[in-house]
Structure 1
Amino acid sequence: MGMVFFLLLCLQMNTTSFAQKRTVTLKIVETSDVHGCFFPHDFINNSDMAGSLARVSTFYKQLKGQYPKSTLLLDNGDILQGQPINYFSNFVDTLQHNIAADVVNYLGYDAETVGNHDIETAHSCFDKWAGELHCPLLGANVINTETGKPYFKPYTIITRQGIRIAILGLLTPAIPNWVEQTSWTGMRFDEMVSTAKYWMNIIRQQEHPDVVIGLFHSGAEGGITTPNYAENASLAVAKEVPGFDLILFGHDHTRHQLIIKNNLGKDVLCLDPANNAQTVAVATLNLQKEKGKWTVKEKQGELVDIRNYDIDQDYVKHFEPYLHEVSNFANKQIGNFAHTIYTRDSFFGNSAFNDFILNLQIKLTGADISFNAPLTLNDSIKQGPISVRDMFKLYKYENHLYVMRLTGKEIKDYLEMSYDQWVNTMAAPSDHLFLLESFNTGSNERGRFKNFIFNFDAAAGIDYNVDVRKPNGQKVNILRMSNGKPFEEDKWYNVAINSYRGNGGGQLLTLGAGIPHDSLKSRIVWRSQRDQRYYFMKAIEEMGTVDPQPNHNWKFIPEAWVKEAGERDAKLIFK
């Protein structure tokens, strides 16, 4: 009897000890800014695609095989725009499920946060997509103005092996600076830090989670900053809102792997996998259960390059009929180009590529002046037949077209800010022509440039020089209207401009031209009903054969300095 009692006592002690020291490893995988890179085929270039969710699927299946009961797969938004497959699903084949919902459902994502490019598709698209998702769509600071409550679910609770995991979703509040208000009617976008504090209190008091994760479609820091909010506030939330174990973020298309100490001295793991499903963020949280409570004992993060992983053929095969439909759409011929045009030319002066867009905007609107920037670093449209897919190289985004009323002084100040972000102030011919980083960012929207190239606006309709020897704010000298009439700084002009810029994107109208953000709407005198790419496509169909030529209406001076410096910088940028 004594021996039995002793054995039972030992068993009880071992069981208690095991229960007290039970450990679990959580693996949390994040994708962000996928932008339609669902399959290993680039429908724009009609070529193989690096990365894509087809390889993410392989990676996640392998990870789930190792940790079958303790993995989570999360997406951080900007999934509805980027490739022809998105455009086809969003605006052409609208009766079927949105492909961005079907791939998320197939892969078994546990939660999704809404992104700014998702909102840009407008209610008719993103509301439908949200209803088709099998996982919660998060956005605690996206507020329904009628109810005062979140338009999307603010957070979700997921359980793995008895561990309660709270996931709070936030979206950058800078939407009104980029997106036409009709796309987000009935919504407002609250500041992130205060919203996170509010919901953290609710989550801790009502849900009693063991782990709290932030899933934020907002970059690390910087971007548009106003007295009321910051565009990129993920690190601010990490520092100022205690309670997060892990923050997974995105939007800035930049890889980040950081440990941030919050204002209580606790470590917050912060990861950002950048864009286009070439990298995934993987967080490893080791938890131990002691006296009935789970505690995070260790956290590690890594950014995993998935470009060399095998393609999940079962995943691709499942969507083959739809891929065939999209290929037929993308391959439809709409015209011919008489010669090849290149985006890279846009950085050095007049460019057949950029000027073609500038001239189309004037033709479509009857405006006096037109603004546009290159949207990709080094793309081209080849001589010969042009198909729908080429239109996504000509114009990357689903911006609408505006005509805005600007004074001559505002036009000059606007261009001054544009070129100040683009061009160095040269003291000698040996200096750089451009403002460059010492390294290649790996981004098609920056490359070696210090700033985003989609803010490098040039103009048509006016003749001007850009003197690279002059200080910032004094480089641009507008000579005349391109029709020979005088350009007057105190005169009003109609300016063709995309909706991203017209709503304040890049801050060229606000910080540059000095127009208060709340006055921008009153300056808009015409809006297109559909996206620019649609109208460009129709224009090319009408023209049949297109022969784009540079306008030769502006140039950098002094030309001898610029020629040498431009050749040197071109080797650095384009290798």
Structure 2
Amino acid sequence: MNFKVLIILICCFLSGKSIANNSEKVSINLIETSDVHGNMFPFNFISLSKGSGSLARVSSFLKEQRAKFKDNCILMDNGDMLQGQPTVYYYNFIDTVSTHIAAKVMNYMKYDLGNLGNHDMETGHIVYDRWISECNFPFVGANIIDKNKGIPYLKPYHIIVKSGVKIAVMGMITPAIPCWLPENLWEGLYFQDMEECAKIWIEHIKKVEKPDVIVGLFHSGSSGSLLNDIVENASMNVAKNVPGFDVIFMGHDHNLLCKKIVNIVGDSVLIADPGSRANNVASINIDMFIKNRKVIKKKIDGKIVNMNKFSPDSIFMAKFSNEYDQVKKFVSERIGYISSPVSAKESFFGPSGFMDLIHDLQLRVSGADISFTAPLSYDSKIDKGNIYVSDMFKLYSYENMLYVMTLSGKEIKDYLEYSYSNWINTVKNENDTLMIIKRYGRRYNFINPTFNFDSAAGINYEVDITKPVGSRIIIKSMSDGKEFNPDNTYKVAINSYRGNGGGELLTNGAGISKDELSKRIIWSTDKDMRFYLMQYIIHENNVIVPQLNNWKFVPEELYQKISIKDRALIFGR
């Protein structure tokens, strides 16, 4: 090879220029975290043990990427930061004077962009508005609309320019917020359908901004879940039906995904979802070949990167050591003593202390006739002995308020019929499987979300496992011995997620229209259920776990034989 040609080849390689078209190559790295749920540190403040994932580990990975891509590394978060670990609960509701830890950490990590998730909005305007104001980067949300102004509450999109390359990032949130959260938490807002919203803004972005790359940052899962005519997980619909996006980052459904799909005009779109709790991030590389200041070719590829391969960033840990210590002190506070162990696992097989404790509290706080609740944790347990603040996050995972609603006796029965239809099969003999489960790896697990498996207290009833849906629930009486009448109206204690239509037990089950739900609410707490659990335990000090024993599966002999097998399949022997 001619020496001069060799020198030219080497120079072109070092400068990133292509011999074929004499173009310059610019490489951009896009990193997405999503559904972190307050997992800042490699420590689980609920179980008080070492934890996986964490933004401390993401910080280590980020330093590697920034060393490689320099300023061309863009970091984005896709929502659900403010709920989950006590780390964020403490700064949401206990220490409301200090700068929120989520803002401190994200500013330290130099996030370029943020999005809101449904669990961020669950904390209420005061909390998420404060968090947004303390972050040194913009939040995007094209389909979160200010009712009074008729315009997006946040920036609909944000422009980032790196090495002369113009990148537009458009944000959206699942529009199903009103199906889960009481309006006081999102007062003054409404949520536009994602596909409809994307069609409007993509045209505006292309016409006005003329970017080289268009990215979607959507706190919404891949597909499915139609709630009261609202598409909860619409990211795939947008990717396929709204041309113009190069990359769409997803979240909300906690499902790992990274692949290319083809949209309706035949263009390739890369979609990515990093799952949850900073166990993984989505890392997308975009190589752009530029000639005469125009992008003539784009090469996009991506991967999901496991953060547990990285050690926590020691500088990160040192910088936030005071916050770490403060949260650990908070969750380690003894609030009382519990007389016997309680386990969420027992909740699927009949009355349990785990559920009875919540039922009892809901009835006490509300004065209602009947209580509905589900195990919000799949396999949490609290041992006999001292009980700590951390245990409250095992007992009650979400920041739900408590409602009292009016339901007829018939609606109560239909509600329970629907609940157990998500939970159990109809069986004929002991060789059948009662629980609606599927094999995942070595173990079986429930197909449907267990946080929708509501049982009731305040009534005595049986669930006949040999009967079809619609005729399983036999309500014998009220728990005080009085007659239960299908035509009577009863006051029912229920959490705000369920009371707003979450899980569709009130709508598809009890047959109450979505528009009617708010009219049925006659009372609400002003604080979340976890607050009342803590206050109750502090007041009682020595908590005697109630034994309500107000319902059971029948025929009992058949159920006992099947349940032994089902327990082994789900939880092992």
Coarse TM-score class (shorter-chain normalised): over 0.9
Q: Which amino acid aligns with 1:143?
A: I
Q: Residues 322-341 of structure 1: matches in 2 within 5 Å?
A: 322-341=323-342
| Change in 2 beyond 3 A, CA 1:567/1:305 | farther
Determine the C-alpha separation between the residues in 2 that align with 1:526 and 1:562: 38
Letter in 1 for 2:525: S
Q: Report the Cα distance in structure 2 between the residues aligned to 1:502 and 1:532, rounded to whole angstroms.
A: 14
Instruction: Give 1:457's aligned residue.
Output: 454
Contact 1:210/1:295 (<8 A) preserved: no
SS of the aligned residue for 1:265 comes to coil
Q: 1:271 to 1:490 in 2, by over 3 A?
A: same
Amino acid at match of 1:172: T
Change (3 A) 1:20 1:515: farther
**Cα deviation code 1:294-342 (max 9, x no counterpart):** 2553322322221231010100110111222212211111110112110
For residues 441 and 192 of structure 1, what CA distance do their matches in structure 2 show?
Answer: 38
The list of structure 1 runs, each at least 4 consecutive aligned residues, that deviate by more than 3 angstroms after superposition, is: 14-20, 224-227
- Residues in 2 aligned to 1:450 and 1:25: alpha-carbon distance in whole angstroms: 42
Amino acid at match of 2:328: S
1:571 corresponds to 2:573: no
2: CA distance between counterparts of 1:474 and 1:16?
72
Distance of 1:296 and 1:342 partners within structure 2: 57
Please show how residues 110-149 of structure 1 align to structure 2 within 5 Å. 110-149=112-151
Q: Following the alignment from structure 1 to structure 2, what is the Cα–Cα distance between the partners of residues 189 and 288?
A: 38
Further displaced range: 419-428 or 383-392: 419-428
Letter in 2 for 1:128: R
2:296 and 2:117 mapped to 1: Cα distance? 31
- Cα displacement (A) at 1:18: 7.9
1:408 and 1:489 in contact (8 A); partners too: yes
Structure 1 residues 510-529: aligned runs within 5 Å: 510-529=507-526
Separation in 2, partners of 1:120, 1:16: 50
User: Which stretch has the larger CA shift, 525-534 or 217-226?
Assistant: 217-226
Q: 1:35 matched to which residue of 2?
A: 37
Match of 1:432 in 2: 433
**Matched ranges for 1:534-573 at <5 A:** 534-573=531-570
Kindly state the Cα deviation for residue 437 of structure 1 after the two structures are TM-superposed: 2.2
Whether the aligned pair in 2 keeps the contact of 1:440 and 1:448 (CA below 8 Å) is: no
Query: Residue 55 of structure 2 corresponds to which residue in structure 1?
Result: 53
Indicate whether 1:364 and 2:365 are aligned. Answer: yes
Specify the SS of the correspondent of 1:307. Answer: helix
**Alpha-carbon distance between aligned partners in 2 of 1:263 and 1:43, rounded to the nearest angstrom:** 46
Alignment-derived partner of residue 217 in structure 1? 219
Q: Which amino acid in 1 is paired with 2:66?
A: K
Q: Go from structure 1 to structure 2 and tell me whether the alpha carbon gap of 1:295 and 1:226 turns closer, same or farther (over 3 Å shift).
A: farther
Change (3 A) 1:295 1:315: farther
Cα deviation for residue 104 of structure 1 reads 0.9
Q: Distance in 2 between matches of 1:16 and 1:570?
A: 62
Question: Distance in 1 between the 2:191 and 2:539 partners?
Answer: 41
Question: Gapped runs of 5+ residues in structure 1?
Answer: 1-10
1:207-286 equivalences under 5 Å are 207-227=209-229, 229-286=230-287
- Structure 2 residue 393 is the aligned partner of structure 1 residue 392: yes
Indicate if the aligned counterparts of 1:211 and 1:296 stay in contact, CA closer than 8 A: no
Match of residue 7 from structure 1: none
Give the secondary-structure state (helix, strand or coil) at the position aligned to 2:214. strand
Alignment CA distance shift 1:182-1:322 (3 Å) = same
Q: Report the CA distance between 1:177 and its aligned residue.
A: 1.0
Tell me if structure 1 keeps the 8 A contact 2:377–2:396: no
Relative to the length of structure 1, the TM-score reads 0.94
Listed as ranges, the matches of 1:366-385 within 5 Å are 366-385=367-386
Work out the CA distance in 1 between the residues paired with 2:570 and 2:316: 37
Larger mean Cα displacement after TM superposition, 150-159 or 547-556:
547-556
User: How many corresponding residue pairs?
Assistant: 560
Against the structure 1 CA distance between its residues 16 and 315, is the aligned structure 2 distance closer, same or farther, given a 3 Å change threshold?
closer
CA-CA distance at 1:81 after TM superposition: 1.1
Task: Check 1:278–1:30 CA distance in 2 against 1; reply closer, same or farther (3 A cut).
Answer: same
| In 1: Cα distance, 2:40 partner to 2:185 partner | 24
Distance 2:494 2:441 in 1: 30
Change (3 A) 1:315 1:18: farther
In the alignment, structure 1 residue 26 sits paired with structure 2 residue 23: no
* 2:78 is the alignment partner of 1:76: yes
Over 3 Å counting, the alpha-carbon distance change for 1:259 and 1:475 in structure 2 is farther
Partner of 1:484: 481
Change (3 A) 1:361 1:23: same
Aligned to 2:303: 302
CA distance in 2, matches of 1:270, 1:550: 49
In the alignment, does 2:90 pair up with 1:88?
yes
Return 110-119 or 322-331, whichever deviates more.
Answer: 322-331
Residue equivalent to 1:472: 469
- AA of the residue aligned to 2:432: D
1:129 positional shift? 0.6
Classify the secondary structure of the residue corresponding to 2:461.
strand
Aligned residues of 2:176 and 2:231 also touching (Cα < 8 A) = yes
Give CA deviations for 1:114-145 in whole Å, capped at 9, x if unaligned: 11111111111111111011111111100111
Change (3 A) 1:350 1:332: same
Native 8 Å contact 1:70 1:161 kept in 2: yes
2:531 and 2:280 map into 1 onto residues whose CA distance is 32
- What secondary structure sits across from 1:276 in the alignment? coil
Cα offset, 1:440, TM superposition? 5.4
Q: Distance in 1 between matches of 2:504 and 2:134?
A: 35
- Equivalents in 1 of 2:426, 2:346: separation in Å? 20
Q: In the alignment, which of 485, 494, 499 is matched to residue 497 of structure 1?
A: 494
Query: Which 5+ residue runs of structure 2 have no aligned equivalent?
Result: 1-10
What's the CA shift for 1:388?
A: 1.1
Query: Given the superposition, is the C-alpha separation of residues 496 and 281 from structure 1 closer, same or farther in structure 2, using an over 3 Å criterion?
Result: same
Whether the 8 Å contact between 1:69 and 1:160 is mirrored in structure 2 is: yes
By how many angstroms is 1:17 displaced? 5.6
Q: CA 1:242 to 1:22, structure 2 compared with 1: closer, same or farther past 3 Å? A: same
Distance 1:87 1:296, change over 3 A: farther
Amino acid at match of 2:28: L
Give secondary structure in 2 for the equivalent of 1:39. coil
